[in-house]
Structure 1
Amino acid sequence: QHGETKVVHGPHGCGRKLLRLFGGYTLQVRNPDSWEGWTWGAKHVWGMQPMGQQVPQTNLLWDISKNAELLLFWGCDQETTTWGWQGQLPSRLSYWWSELGIKQIYIAPDCNYANAVHADKWIPVLPNTDAALYLAIAYWWFKNGTYDKEYLETHAYGVDKFEDYVMGREDGVPKTPEWAAPITGVPARTIKALAEEWASKRTTVVIGNGGPAIRGPYSHEPARLQVLCLAMQGLGKPGCNQSKMIEWGLTNSLLQMSQPAPAALLSMWPVYTGGSVRDTNHPSFLPETLVPKAILEGKCDWYGCEQEMAPRENQFVHYKYPADGCSQIHLIWTDSPSWITSWNDGNAFTRAMRHESIEFVFAQHPWIENDCLFADVILPVNTKLEEDDINTDLFGGQMNLLFPEPKCIEPLGESYSDYEIVCMIAERLGLLEEYTDGLSIPERIKMGYEKCGAAHLVSWEQLNEKGYYVIPVADDWEKMPAGLSEFYEDPENHPLTTPTGRIEFYATGLAEHFPDDQERKPVPQWISKGESHQEGLDCERAKKYPLLVISNHPRWGVHAQHDDVTWLREIETCKIKGPDGYQYQPVWMHPVDAAARGIEHGDVVSVFNERGTVLGGAYITERVMPGAISMDHGAKYDPIALGEIDRGGVINTIVPGNITSKKACGMVVSGFLAEVEKTDLEALRKKYPEAFARECHVTAGPCLAGIVENSTGKKGA
């Protein structure tokens, strides 16, 4: 899943243009994996194109610092996702807000790294039960009148229908704190105290992208309910917004930037050679979440997901595979081979890659990530350090920069950039001129400067002589409205992008297009189980698999990258060394749950359900609540039994295969059921001697020897 902010050599689909030039292809479309719940849920409440999270974010860091009294960090760990482009600024801000006296409450099943450092209070909540917690908070406000009724009369639509559900008038079940307590694991008194504190203080909810809270079964429900709770307290007034701690410059829009706005907004899209999210020129496509199903069953259908930032209206468009007049998939070309580790039901994907309909798999990559193990041919890609490029920094928060990136060293071995590899293939097909538009790499780099939006500020010669150019802050940045203040002050002239222009407690779009959808009703609900998922603790499956799994982004890696970095593996929360010397992915367990299973710290354990088994190292800690276990995604795939048992710790191999809900094709990678037991390593070794005989580096983990053949046909890297 590499990228390293490459531009002219950008991966993630740089072969698309070439494939179009000689006949077309089926595109694997990225689902909105970083913002699933917001896309499939919150967009129907408040619009907020492109991702369903609050826009504008303009000047929110300043607004929080001046006006907020309480910050609710909901499923947020800004100390772990520092690699999400914004650097260390969120960490520094969190320390500063504490110095300013702004209270920070962290709500998550685990005491994550930001929680451990910054929290004034941690409220543990069982995975994927946040919807019940929001409903109980709303109940307390309705009951006691501690919400902004006048605001809702002018800024919201359908509040009466939501109130009927919350108060139990619709289904006979009032969503009281006492009702929510056994579901969420949060005591009723704590729910009441949280509701009262939220209502009595100027409160901002802070997210990264929402974490596991918006990537579980029916994740559109907690996402919608967070917005409704914000609305009940006057969303948009000073100190009362939804603030993000990640990806401030992702969409090249001032509306996404929480920090003081720059004088010029730079963009490298004109010369980015990877697959653009704006590219919808693909008559045949598949959402990433449905690739195994499509290959294994030969067909599938779904709604929406033309691309990961598609507008709300696209969710009502029906698609199918194969598309009319198009073929099934027979060849796979990947430059982002991290499916097993990063998406849903990785074991199903391993079966799909070996399906008889797939005749050839071609991968290009620097590090042979997990999916490369199924490739017929792997071409080596060089790193950013071996390529000439040009770039901007709109994400870091500290400065907005434009800078050329000359390579540090010559490319190692026979490696080329992703773009160069496609160019060489294009040349052999006689399509090089059409693919490159006749531009060399140096010409494309200079074009990046010319079209980025800063050519009027600094000359090409000055830029190369100095090596960078700092974009100054806009003179009028303080005058830019903070967050949703304009909507708060004048909703008629600054409407939202919902059909009514208001915050929709009753989603009119869902009511019109999917009136009979029981898994995503117009009014958000608490859904423990349904047609798509049986992953709640009140399900029959919970008798066999009684623990709820949290799967976070890795603290010591980036998706599937860095799992083999030796000095990171020395950290106890990165790997647990088993009695066999193998370094296992940590499985956080509460002492109560561990004791009930006879598990001690450092034991090798099996995390399993009917979808498969993953081995890990027991990390016994009170930093995770009883009833939940935590196992980060991102480990290196090391199968003992292919598609059944993984020694490396790839938790995504046993996550659900079904999409978010019946008509929302997001991924489900957290908040699912599993059981944990101590592993009998000797029994496994006897049953699978070949797997245990594979070479494994003492500090770097699984090796390629015995798995990958080199160009001579001999095994070994």
Structure 2
Amino acid sequence: MSSPETSSLPRSFFQALPDGEVLTASHWGLFYAKTKDGRLVAVRPFEGDRAPSPNLSSLVEHPYSSARIQTPMVRRSYLEKGSASRAGRGADEYVPVSWDKALDLAAGELRRIYETYGPSAVWGRSYGWKSTGSVNNAIALMQRLLSLLGGWVETGNSYSTAAISTILPYAVGGKLFKPTAWPVIKEKTERIVFWGCDPLITNDIDWATTLHQGIAEIRKLKDHPRIRTIAVNPLRPKTADVVGSRWMPVRAGTDAALMLGMMYVLITENRLDRAFLANCVTGWNEMEAYILGTEDGVKKTPEWAEIGCGVPAQQIQSFARELSEHRSMIMFGWGPQRARYGEQPPWMAVALACALGQIGLPGGGIGVSYHYESGGWPVGKGPVLGQIPARPKAVWQSAVPWKGSRAVPVARMADVLACPGKVIDWNGSRIEYPDIRLVFWSGGNPFAHHPDTRALEAAWRRPETVIVTDAFWSATARHADIVLPAATTLERNDISPIGTSTNDGIVFMRQVINPVGEARSDYKIYSELAKRLGLGDAFTEGLDEAGWIQRLYEEAAAAGAAQNAELPAFADFVKNGVHLYAQNPAETRFTAFADFRADPEAHPLRTESGKIVIYSKRIEALHYADAPAHPTWIPPFAADQTSVHGQDAQAQEERKEGLGDWLELVSPKSGARLHSQLNPVTSARSNIAGREPCEMNSVDAAKRGIANGDVVKVSSLRGAILAGAVVTDGVRAGTIVVRHGGWFDPQESSDGAIDANGCANVLTPDDPASALSNGNIASTALVQVEKWRGELLEVRAFNAPHLGK
């Protein structure tokens, strides 16, 4: 429990109530938590939430899950042999130890690694979604400690948006640019295309917390008198079912081919806005030459596109005409870019939007974040709440020279661990992997989000020490040497912004219950580690959790005063629990690229030409075989065509096997969890036959003798999983869906090594999207599916591992 001597408020403001109801927040929204006899018994949504998450109810069970880590743990072989025991990670039993013992061990290893190898030997990126809260931000706290120790190996890009965030700065001068406001959409738009996204699922969560305005706006599209919606996706999204969208089942990884066929129609039927292309776009002539076949001898006709993408040519023609004849907004998702050559679909979508000529017009053009954090909802008028600083100036100065590059692509993490000294190309640079000796992970689960989980498991055994702080026995915690049990959001005090993209206000997160077992808040854990390393004062700056909550709030209040957006006094804010901002009227009229379209010279983009770039001389100068100078159709590894990708050995091997029995896996987000968060408590409701669902078309199921509810084996060249069959016509033939985030549960079966729960990334390849982004390609893989006839393995992922004494 917090000890708020450094806050101006009485201790009672920060204590859990044995019986009562308090307001707090989570990634799924604000809610009231009710306790009885010190136990959480019920939750109800905040009255300002416009579309409360169905996952809120799972939070009642969450802190009491069987997967909860209740005491500090050390892997037995590590306790006995230290780093010489690395081969036992993921298999050893764990021994409970005291907090003093665990913290002393962790601090000792940090000291040894920094003194012996220096900060270039430390992986401190700790990628993941953490838990809501600006003080107990697990990743920021860990990096704050490592910064004081001298730093760590930095990373670039993300698992979510590596390819799109790399290509859009070349194309439009920014990464995930601000989208046109929803009020403008409702007033002007006639056609909305949900391209490669399912916003009713992905808008359920927020990096901080949310009021779900995006979901509310999308639901209003059902039976709208003017707006019609189309969903382009290998599976029929939940969004399409709810709002009545027309579904266009494109083949996975072939969006670029479909868009080329559409642009052929727009060009040959004289539907282009030539004035817009001349004023606002560079490189269109080269793009048009490619589409018409004068560049490579291949006309990108709808008939040509049909062969690649599976959408009938007549539908491609009518789709292009429909968007051209109506004010149309392409709401482009991030799924298509998590694939080989993932830069091409979003760049091609920009080219399509240029061909349609509606960029910068109210309600028209393209947006790339409507599916995330209520993108498009007008930003509130108020200060942005900060977080505890993650990068203070170093106190320790290492005498060991830095080895390797200071930053690496985040999605190459397993390759970095396995291959120190390897040199790769990355967006115009040549980088060398450092030699990682210590991994510190907090607030994330790479054994869910990283591709080719089996290869990750092997690479994970190379560092000398792995330290993990977590509240639950995720697969990452099960592969650690030292495990420090963290409190959940319900078990500590904190503060959070509301709406990462929308900035709707600030919420006080009052502690609901006392920590389960011996769990401690992240702030307490890292403060104790810092103290053991002689960095206690530098880490805490004399403040405890309550003191930091008050500091962050008062810093926001000072910024608000400068913006004429006054915040209430801290005491009043804590008593009320929440402060919501007024809407900024100017934000309700925002149209993306409107100023640029009106006067490109006065409002240039941050691109090489100041205009939208469809042919990039900067990319051309890199001479990457897998990153052409203009948007290009490159057959994905799952296609039965020769790939230009230099690292495509796995694809070549898969083609030798023959494509007759192979299906294309897509791995979208699940509506039952956030990545892997909540999986221990929602699995009972969402799983089929006790494990992750495998959605497949009825034609593919019948061919394999598979019925609804059967346990199936899904395998690729990288590994195999068990899953529960869901036979549906909501997935195109030739495609299966196993949703991302299922917990890794490796076991031995009569048929060899297999994941018993259904972790999709056991199947996916850990290759880079291209040398440009080095993004992950976890959205697609070639797989085989068959009815499982072996023993039904018990799912063990959600229970604590074997504990010794």
- Indicate whether the TM-score tops 0.5: yes
C-alpha distance in 1, partners of 2:379/2:679? 36
Q: Is the 8 A contact 1:131 1:222 kept in 2?
A: yes
Which runs of 5 or more structure 2 residues have no equivalent in the other structure?
A: 1-127, 636-642
Q: Structure 1 residue 575 and structure 2 residue 687: aligned?
A: yes
C-alpha distance in 2, partners of 1:134/1:532? 26
Q: Is the 8 A contact 1:162 1:506 kept in 2?
A: yes
Shift in Å at residue 668 of structure 1?
A: 0.5
Shift in Å at residue 288 of structure 1?
A: 2.7
Shift in CA distance, 100/387, structure 1 to aligned 2, threshold 3 Å:
farther
Equivalence map 1:491-570=2 (5 Å): 491-512=600-621, 514=622, 516-528=623-635, 529=643, 530-533=645-648, 539-540=655-656, 543=659, 546-565=662-681, 568-570=682-684
Shift in Å at residue 300 of structure 1?
A: 2.5
Shift in Å at residue 316 of structure 1?
A: 2.2
> Which of 185, 194, 198 is 2:323 aligned to?
198
Shift in CA distance, 242/704, structure 1 to aligned 2, threshold 3 Å:
same
Quote the residue 1:670 is aligned against.
779
Quote the residue 2:186 is aligned against.
65
Q: Aligned residues: percent identity?
A: 27
Amino acid at match of 2:571: E
Shift in Å at residue 245 of structure 1?
A: 2.3
Quote the residue 2:290 is aligned against.
165
Q: Is the 8 A contact 1:559 1:633 kept in 2?
A: yes
Superposed CA offset, 1:65-87 (max 9, x none):
11111000111212211333255
> Which of 199, 204, 214 is 1:78 aligned to?
199
Superposed CA offset, 1:112-164 (max 9, x none):
21111113311000111101011111111111111211100100001111111
Q: Structure 1 residue 400 and structure 2 residue 504: aligned?
A: yes
DSSP-derived class of the 1:672 partner: strand
DSSP-derived class of the 1:618 partner: strand
Amino acid at match of 1:146: R
Q: Is the 8 A contact 1:10 1:272 kept in 2?
A: no
Amino acid at match of 1:636: W
Quote the residue 1:359 is aligned against.
464
Which runs of 5 or more structure 1 residues have no equivalent in the other structure?
A: 250-256, 305-314, 323-327, 578-582, 686-691
DSSP-derived class of the 1:454 partner: helix
> Which of 148, 160, 173 is 2:273 aligned to?
148
Q: Structure 1 residue 679 and structure 2 residue 788: aligned?
A: yes
C-alpha distance in 1, partners of 2:500/2:371? 8
DSSP-derived class of the 2:236 partner: coil
> Which of 307, 318, 324 is 2:430 aligned to?
318
Shift in CA distance, 621/475, structure 1 to aligned 2, threshold 3 Å:
closer
Superposed CA offset, 1:180-214 (max 9, x none):
1121111111111101101111100114xx24211
Shift in Å at residue 476 of structure 1?
A: 4.3
Q: Is the 8 A contact 2:130 2:444 kept in 1?
A: no
> Which of 364, 379, 390 is 1:261 aligned to?
379
Shift in Å at residue 34 of structure 1?
A: 1.8
Equivalence map 1:5-44=2 (5 Å): 5-27=132-154, 29=155, 31-44=157-170
Equivalence map 1:291-690=2 (5 Å): 291-304=413-426, 315-322=427-434, 328-355=435-462, 358-395=463-500, 400-452=504-556, 453-454=559-560, 456-478=566-588, 481-512=590-621, 514=622, 516-528=623-635, 529=643, 530-533=645-648, 539-540=655-656, 543=659, 546-565=662-681, 568-571=682-685, 574-577=686-689, 583-641=690-748, 644-682=753-791
Q: Is the 8 A contact 1:140 1:177 kept in 2?
A: yes
Q: Is the 8 A contact 1:340 1:653 kept in 2?
A: no
C-alpha distance in 1, partners of 2:683/2:545? 38
> Which of 288, 297, 315 is 2:410 aligned to?
288
Quote the residue 1:120 is aligned against.
245
Quote the residue 2:130 is aligned against.
3
DSSP-derived class of the 2:220 partner: helix
DSSP-derived class of the 1:14 partner: helix
Superposed CA offset, 1:381-423 (max 9, x none):
00111111122213486x8222322211222221112222111
Shift in Å at residue 429 of structure 1?
A: 1.5
C-alpha distance in 1, partners of 2:436/2:661? 36
C-alpha distance in 2, partners of 1:405/1:265? 18
> Which of 194, 203, 212 is 2:335 aligned to?
212
DSSP-derived class of the 1:623 partner: coil
Amino acid at match of 2:577: G
Amino acid at match of 1:531: G
- Number of matched pairs: 646
Superposed CA offset, 1:264-297 (max 9, x none):
232324x355999xxxx99634333222222223
DSSP-derived class of the 1:205 partner: strand
Quote the residue 1:688 is aligned against.
none
Shift in Å at residue 532 of structure 1?
A: 3.2
Q: Is the 8 A contact 1:14 1:274 kept in 2?
A: no
DSSP-derived class of the 2:487 partner: coil
C-alpha distance in 2, partners of 1:275/1:610? 45
Q: Is the 8 A contact 1:67 1:238 kept in 2?
A: yes
Q: Is the 8 A contact 2:425 2:771 kept in 1?
A: no
C-alpha distance in 2, partners of 1:371/1:481? 43
Quote the residue 2:46 is aligned against.
none
C-alpha distance in 1, partners of 2:661/2:392? 40
Shift in Å at residue 463 of structure 1?
A: 1.5
Amino acid at match of 1:228: A
> Which of 213, 218, 231 is 1:94 aligned to?
218
Shift in Å at residue 570 of structure 1?
A: 4.8
TM-score, normalisation: structure 2? 0.76
Shift in CA distance, 41/6, structure 1 to aligned 2, threshold 3 Å:
same
Shift in CA distance, 43/540, structure 1 to aligned 2, threshold 3 Å:
farther
Q: Is the 8 A contact 1:162 1:523 kept in 2?
A: yes
Equivalence map 1:180-199=2 (5 Å): 180-199=305-324
DSSP-derived class of the 1:80 partner: helix
> Which of 685, 704, 713 is 2:799 aligned to?
704
Amino acid at match of 1:113: K
Shift in Å at residue 680 of structure 1?
A: 2.1
C-alpha distance in 1, partners of 2:789/2:257? 38
C-alpha distance in 2, partners of 1:517/1:137? 27
C-alpha distance in 1, partners of 2:684/2:753? 28
Amino acid at match of 1:103: R
Shift in Å at residue 704 of structure 1?
A: 3.2
DSSP-derived class of the 1:318 partner: strand
Superposed CA offset, 1:298-340 (max 9, x none):
3323445xxxxxxxxxx32332112xxxxx2122111134112
Quote the residue 1:580 is aligned against.
none
C-alpha distance in 2, partners of 1:385/1:454? 28
Shift in Å at residue 2 of structure 1?
A: 5.0
Alignment root-mean-square deviation, CA:
2.6
Q: Is the 8 A contact 1:8 1:272 kept in 2?
A: no
Shift in CA distance, 487/545, structure 1 to aligned 2, threshold 3 Å:
farther
Higher alpha-carbon deviation: 12-21 or 662-671:
12-21
TM-score, normalisation: structure 1? 0.85
Shift in CA distance, 161/425, structure 1 to aligned 2, threshold 3 Å:
same
C-alpha distance in 1, partners of 2:336/2:658? 20
